Amino acid sequence: MKISKIRGLVAALFAAVTVVAPGASIASANTEITFWSWRTEDKAFYESQMRLFEAKNPGITVKFTPYLNTEYNAIVATALTAGKGPDVIQMRPYGGMANLSDAGNFMPLTTADVPALKKLPVGILAGAQGYKDKKQYGLPYAVSALGVMYNPDILEKAGVRALPQTWAQLQTAFDKVKKAGFLPIGNAGGNGPALEQLHATVGPTFYGGTAFFNDVVAGKKTFTDKGYVASLKAVADLAKWMPANYQGIDYNTARGLFANEKAAFYIGGNYEIGYFRSLNPSITIGWFPAPKANAGAKRYVGTWADGAYAINAKTTQKAAALKLINFLGTKEFGQALVDEIAFIPTAPYVKINDPAVKEINRWRTTLGTPFLNVVGFRFENPTSSSILQPGFQKLIVGGTTPEQLAKDVQTAVASWYAPQKGKS
């Protein structure tokens, strides 16, 4: 290429830049904020909501980017500790990201900035607070609830007329279902976290729900408490109603057994319902809270905040980010979240139309108790969950005893949790 030609090109480029420049200055009047999430499955939902937000807030555009669920924590932590990251962040609840809050990576939110916070229950707000400073760092958007899901058609065929109210009645129902040629429960042992959720569903009635939660958090009781040991034993007792070779049945196969109407019951979270329906749209699913340990005990529904929306402490677009957070706290957005993704909304002012979600939420509000491990003991390693998940897999095959497992959890938690230090 001749020099003159190059000069010509350079001149043309300059001309192009000067022509574009006025447009660029218009563009800079427009604020772009970025929003990260781990809900790749909700991309379409969020993008349509962001267009609504933009319509209401001219001059602000939102770029929504979801990341792979299992890699999200590492991606967010890396970005934030490097002083980067998005303006608005979907935040994991409780211990999931509390260490990032404590390190000052999120902007504290006040009720003056985000009025929607005033309307949320205290236990839900705790899901988005720092572990050390207890400041509010996020606006929780949804809650989860644990219970027993059942297939009414199978129960009818097996002659189970009334829903079990006690642990003994539940076992009788399992026997009847087995006799009728169905699997009593789809739950299996291949996945540690699923077993932990099973325990969080059936366990609280044995250890005494919220009272025990408060005591163990305050250091007044320990995990070696008789009631807690009994709750672990309840999980071991369920093993005999699990499908054959349950140790090796993974999470998806286990859920598939219920979804494909081979198993009568599945014990777990409300978030499974969407998965069951996606596998078998014609399935009818009933839901009831875990039965009580005995006639004198109480029933509980394990519950916890599912996640929150937070603002990067280093954002340069604070005003726009707050606008977005406040939009995510509106009734309209909450309503769309429950109507389109069937989440249980945190805000009491959102109306639930889905009958299944409505029923679960009714029980949750009356019998709710915090998911012990998630709400209380996931803030430092070794977490109670990191001991219990493999521990339950051992327990259901007789590889350990409920007493030993309780002792293991206590030792692990006492190694970092101040109120439990030195206790066994």
Binding of another protein by 344 (CB under 8 A)? no
Binding of another protein by 354 (CB under 8 A)? no
DSSP 313-348: TT-S-HHHHHHHHHHHTSHHHHHHHHHHH-PEES-T
Task: Indicate which single residue of 39, 45, 102, 354 sits in contact with another protein (rule: CB under 8 A).
Answer: 102
Binding span for another protein by CB under 8 A among 3-11, 121-129, 189-197, 363-371: 189-197
H/E element, 148: strand 138-150
Q: In 3-state terms, what secondary structure has residue 143?
A: strand
Binding of another protein by 108 (CB under 8 A)? no
Q: Count of residues binding another protein (CB under 8 A)?
A: 54
Task: Indicate which single residue of 145, 238, 375, 412 sits in contact with another protein (rule: CB under 8 A).
Answer: 412
Closest by CA position to 392, among listed 147, 196, 186, 148: 196
Q: Is the Cβ–Cβ distance between 275 and 259 less than 8 Å? A: yes
Q: Alpha-carbon distance 78 to 97, whole Å?
A: 12
Binding of another protein by 394 (CB under 8 A)? yes
Distance in Å, CB of 53 to another protein, minimum:
28
Residue type at position 380: E
Q: Count other Cβ atoms within 10 Å, centred on residue 122.
A: 6
Binding of another protein by 181 (CB under 8 A)? no
Task: Indicate which single residue of 8, 159, 193, 348 sits in contact with another protein (rule: CB under 8 A).
Answer: 193
Task: Indicate which single residue of 166, 386, 401, 404 sits in contact with another protein (rule: CB under 8 A).
Answer: 386
Residue closer to another protein (CB basis): 225 or 408: 408
Binding of another protein by 341 (CB under 8 A)? no
Q: Write the DSSP symbol of residue 382.
A: S
Binding span for another protein by CB under 8 A among 200-208, 270-278, 285-293, 387-395: 387-395
Binding of another protein by 393 (CB under 8 A)? yes
Q: Is the Cβ–Cβ distance between 305 and 128 less than 8 Å? A: yes
Distance in Å, CB of 254 to another protein, minimum:
9
Rg of the chain (C-alpha set): 25
Binding of another protein by 39 (CB under 8 A)? no
Binding span for another protein by CB under 8 A among 54-62, 184-192, 301-309, 355-363: 184-192
Provide the sign of the torsion angle of the four alpha carbons 154, 159, 164, 167, taken in this order.
negative
Binding of another protein by 379 (CB under 8 A)? yes
Residues 40-99 that bind another protein (CB under 8 A): 69-70, 72-74, 77-78, 81, 92, 94-96, 98-99
CA angle 210, 216, 217 (to 5 degrees): 85
Q: Report how far apart the first and last C-alpha atoms of the chain are (Å, whole number).
A: 82
DSSP 248-299: G--HHHHHHHHHTTSEEEEEEETTHHHHHHHH-TT---EEEPPPBSSTTS--
Binding span for another protein by CB under 8 A among 58-66, 278-286, 306-314, 394-402: 394-402
Q: Alpha-carbon distance 336 to 110, whole Å?
A: 25
Binding of another protein by 178 (CB under 8 A)? no
Query: Residues near 210 by Cβ (< 8 Å), separated by ≥ 6?
Result: 204, 300, 369, 370
Residue closer to another protein (CB basis): 181 or 248: 248
Q: Alpha-carbon distance 197 to 201, whole Å?
A: 6
Name the β-bridge partners of 166: 292
Q: In 3-state terms, what secondary structure has residue 63?
A: strand
Going residue by residue from 232 to 261, which x/- string records binding to another protein, judged by CB under 8 A?
-----------xxxxxxxx--x---x----
Residue closer to another protein (CB basis): 98 or 367: 98
Binding span for another protein by CB under 8 A among 14-22, 106-114, 188-196, 309-317: 188-196
Distance in Å, CB of 41 to another protein, minimum:
15
Q: Which residues bind another protein (CB under 8 A)?
A: 69-70, 72-74, 77-78, 81, 92, 94-96, 98-100, 102-103, 189-193, 196, 243-250, 253, 257, 374, 378-383, 385-387, 389-391, 393-394, 397, 399, 408, 411-412, 415
